[in-house]
Amino acid sequence: MTRHLIAILVSGALIGTAVGAALVGIAGFHGRLSRKPPLEIFADMNRQPKLRPQKPFEFLPNGVSSQLAPPGTIARSQPIESASGPVYSFQDSPVNSGRINGTTNFIENNPLAVNAMFLARGHERFDIYCAPCHGKLGDGNGITKKIGAMPAVANLHDLRIVSMTDGEIFNTITHGKNTMGAYGPIIPTQDRWAIVAYLRALQLSWLGSTNDLSATQQAALK
């Protein structure tokens, strides 16, 4: 019985050695270089039935592989019109970063054209994303503070924030600060600048005076 068991173990060891040697012979050692082509188990990723750009393809009516997008296709990105011209999301531009190119300095003023429609958009986005914490007046008395979820919320009319450049406020909205999360991933670039523009109008409504008006505007008030 003992001899029979030993014979089985020896046979198993020999078979295992043979299988191991065969695998090494086929696959080779890890990191070993070889001029022989590798053994392909699943060749789908290397041998794909794909079409090369601008090559003939008889299956399609016009006989080429590259096709125009169907009517109504939505582009992956549209440029933002700024004072310096159209800007795409992948460009290194103050429109995307809020900073002067090649520096860490924030730009002073909003790079997008501010008009009534732009301010209305900023008002809408502000009420959705900012008002829950900062309040619709921007005084830091939003619902999150009232229910105790955010006991300390910045008052956007504080001189510290009023004195910030538009680029720094844009940067804060984009990346967040302290307990405030980053809104860059969920608010499009143009909407973030619209929020900055509306915030400036909101601050001016609190801190402005009649002395800021022109003589014509002052006369109209009287």
* pLDDT tens-digit readout, 170-181: 999 999 998 899
pLDDT score recorded for residue 136: 94
- Give bridge partners of residue 81 from the DSSP assignment: 86
CB–CB of 37/28 below 8 Å?
A: no
Q: Which two tokens stand for residue 64?
A: 């080429």
As a whole number, the mean pLDDT across the chain is 85
Please tell me the predicted confidence (pLDDT) of residue 26. Answer: 59
Among the listed residues 159, 189, 184, the one whose alpha carbon sits nearest the alpha carbon of residue 174: 184
Residues 6+ apart with CB under 8 A from 104: none
Which is more confident, 192 or 3? 192
Mean pLDDT across 200-220: 84
Average pLDDT rounded to a whole number, residues 129-152: 89
Q: Which pLDDT score is estimated for 58?
A: 87
- When pLDDT is cut at 50, 70 and 90, the band that residue 163 belongs to is very high
pLDDT at 6 over 70: no
Confidence of residue 5 (pLDDT cuts 50, 70, 90): low
> Of all residues in the chain, what percent carry a pLDDT higher than 90?
46
Counting residues of the chain whose pLDDT is more than 70, the rounded percentage is 83
- What residue type is assigned to position 38 of the chain? P
The pLDDT-based confidence of 138 (bands split at 50, 70, 90) is very high
Are 23 and 29 contacting, i.e. CB atoms less than 8 angstroms apart? no
- For position 8, what pLDDT does the model report? 66
Q: List phi, psi (to 5°) of 187.
A: -115, 120
Say if residue 110's pLDDT is above 80: yes
Whether residue 183 contacts residue 173, with contact meaning beta carbons closer than 8 Å, is answered with: yes
Residue with tokens 């909101």: 202
Interatomic CA distance for residues 67 and 58, integer angstroms: 13
pTM: 0.65
Q: Which residue has the higher pLDDT, 125 or 25?
A: 125
Q: What is the pLDDT of residue 22?
A: 65
Note the pLDDT of residue 149.
Answer: 77
Are the C-beta atoms of 150 and 133 separated by less than 8 Å? yes
Tokens of 61: 């009516």
